[in-house]
Chains A and B, each alone.
Chain A
Amino acid sequence: GDSVTQMEGPVTLSEEAFLTINCTYTATGYPSLFWYVQYPGEGLQLLLKATKADDKGSNKGFEATYRKETTSFHLEKGSVQVSDSAVYFCALIEGGGSQGNLIFGKGTKLSVKP
């Protein structure tokens, strides 16, 4: 079945550092791709998404580009803040399209130090 692989954490950065969290996927067809974020003590929230190749999702300074050739959807932010400390999950909708099982990676914990 379809799957998502994320870089293992935890990732610890200083404030204003550049962030990259790697995500690659294995899927049939061209799935919609997502990044979800889970702040301490809170539920999962959608951070950004991309539904087709070369799409760039962006939100709150975070960006990720759907790369079909490398089956990747890496999350980036140019300057992280302490408030970005959270667990980040890469996900896809299995089977392609926008209907199906939502499959998650294991998550990457980010800690940002002042």
Chain B
Amino acid sequence: EAGVVQSPRYKIIEKKQPVAFWCNPISGHNTLYWYRQNLGQGPELLIRYENEEAVDDSQLPKDRFSAERLKGVDSTLKIQPAELGDSAVYLCASIKAGTATPAFFGQGTRLTVV
């Protein structure tokens, strides 16, 4: 079984430029999370999807961040425009809701804004 797939693994952009990250969760996992992990810190939740619905986006900075999961499978997280403080690792995780299975994480996308 394939794990959670994220791309790209690394991205370097100049500030004020847009950037997008893609995540393909494990097949059958209806819950999808996007996290941001700053250096030396724990992951912080940005948004949680149940199927195609964003059930919690309270921590998503909506002035510059957006996300979508149109068909309830893969998801895209976008930042426009990027700021220096957005440099972090962006993690995607998925879980099969209503089960005792844990969340599985992708390798993450390391974003550097210069």
Contact = CB atoms under 8 A, between A and B. Distances in A.
B56 interface: yes
A42 B43 contact: no
B91 A89 contact: no
Interface residues of A, number: 20
Contacts of A46: 102-104
B35 to A, nearest CB: 8
Interface string B16-55: 0000000000000001010000001111110010000000
Interface stretch (A14-22, A73-81, A95-103): A95-103
A45 interface: yes
Interface string A101-114: 11111110000000
Contacts of B95: 102
Q: Determine the interface band of chain B, counting residues with CB < 8 A from chain A.
A: 20 to 34
Contact of A101 (B42, B56, B99): B56
Nearest to A32: B100
A103 B100 contact: no
Given A98-B100, A106-B42, A43 B107 contact: yes
A44 interface: yes
Given A34-B102, A45-B105, A104 B97 contact: no
A100 B26 CA distance: 18
Given A99-B31, A101-B48, A49 B102 contact: yes
Given A44-B43, A51-B100, A104-B44, 10 more contacts: A36-B105, A43-B91, A43-B106, A43-B108, A46-B102, A46-B104, A89-B42, A98-B98, A98-B99, A104-B43
Interface of A: 32, 34, 36, 42-46, 49, 51, 89, 98-99, 101-107
22 contacts: A32-B100, A36-B105, A43-B106, A43-B108, A44-B43, A44-B91, A49-B102, A89-B43, A98-B97, A99-B31, A99-B97, A102-B33, A102-B45, A102-B93, A102-B95, A103-B45, A104-B43, A105-B42, A106-B41, A107-B40, A107-B41, A107-B42
